[in-house]
Structure 1
């Protein structure tokens, strides 16, 4: 890893700081909405889904723009800056509408930064280290999430909010603390990273999904099937609370999840550099299906704890590996557009996925829904179908192959 380009280190450090900031707040937003503001799960599903979907078009556009301008760094810096500027407004939120507005503004920043950032990493690393680099980035990102959650847990503990309710003052304290690492994230990328020259930007004169190629588009269809059942993790947090896990317990559980995620990401990415990447993704999706079945059947708090720790293994196996596979499937001059498309599709599907989960849980109107187990059975089933699709699919060149 000493041979990594400075951009890999810069992006990883930035993600580390930003996730300290984001995870402190994002994981307690559903508890704040549900416990303090009394918002129903179907509304929470809409908020979380739209939070990602609002950024979807921007992800495609910012990725294409970074291809056209042959520049990744400053678009990413602008995106991180927008997210940082939006965070203070959580402090003043007193209605679910305002929470939603700030959440969506934060995701606009994510939409601007994500594709150029991922393309900057892909541009800066040798193909044989692609999985390792993205795995390392995910490990840094997740390590920041763990630190952020531990800080939030400390705040909750000091506030003695160890019951099932999250105090309004405690939420606002966490928001204030989260502003410091967010600022460090922007500074890290602006100071350390530098743009890498893209060999040819002629293909980026206009946005064209056809130019991304059939292998990439088939990959996106399969990933899209999986993501339709991959609702917001807010539902996992609500399930944990529903099964009797306290707010402090939830934060510590999420910290343990992120520790496992961080430990697994780098070796999983390295493994995907030496075998067919599809095998790593398939294994992760099958594990996801089993975990979601477990969440549907969970009865005790320790069941949820065990499942959430295993959830970190799924994340570690798949997230960095899938990002590396995107770079395998498209030409270098189209990477920004490809990463924009990849992230946009996942973002757009977050809305129906989270809406479906919320409706399955608590219904809509006079219909009471199927109960807390339903969204997890649905998500687990689609994960298995997607894994089968990935196993059947045979791209012309095997991503991750060292041949």
Structure 2
């Protein structure tokens, strides 16, 4: 299976259980939801908020009804909230009301520990200020919105120790405003954000040059942390950490999980925060110190993205449903569902510290983690991309280990937390900035 030969598969038995809800993902429902989104004509942030059939307001209310239907089916297990603010900017000349639609599935044991899945509901035409023309936004980002709604429908049938947040965001095309609104909301709620899975353009498999790839999904992750202080940056330059942000280790975790979910979709890790010259709603979370990654297609189609509906020289332009690949979208949705289940089942990663100065062994220490019954200690060469397949210390109940004969100068060390049922967290690296909490925040 993809992803099993070069990256560790954390907590194999528990991950297999986490992958089980993914089998309930409905390709037909994904298609139906994308079609419903397209039928709103435009979902531009500056379009009508009051029209019952067309515009951003109608689309938001439709998404909220979806969440409420999923909540009713699980005995009202979802709390629906609609954070809002007034925003303006270079792409919003007059202040406009901005609203996110969010469903919260509270954890049974650690409700303040949160994993977020999100997509943006707004769309655009060629002119980013054009709020009147049809902008179907099927792939960008009807695909991500449909994925979030399907994840809520599937996962709300199960219970998890930690909280899952399902978020439909507004204002992405006008400046990532919906992502910032939700990141601010997370901070105001005092959430401990374990990971944010941002899904933006996840429903196509062929590019504008005719090249197709339906066997990979790209996962983007930052290297140096956006919230790094001068001291952290200086320490990372000296002692390492450029390749071990918590987001980078979430990416490694997703890659390790992919093969257990399905054998025809692997993760291609992209080691940058987003595509060249572009951005997505994971970025506001990174700026506040929350681990966040972006899922997006292996191959983008620029003729059917940010384009007016038209035909020129025999080429059809526009982000329409006809250009989508729904079997592919279903695969990406299954991977998200399995990742959410795994992350919501596992404890937070520790915040380990490695000490190897002037000695022939390495000491690794960390504080106890709520919900952890044991820990694995991992290593990789400093120039290796992935953690070794097997931990160097397995299922220890201690919070410190002495690695005899391991000269720490040559290695990156990390630690993962393991719950009593075997669910295992991503690895947190014992490097400057490796912890999964915002820098400067207490553990």
- TM (norm. structure 2) is 0.27
Higher RCO (CA 8 Å, separation ≥ 6 residues): 1
Larger radius of gyration: 2
Write 1 or 2 for the structure with the bigger share of helix: 1
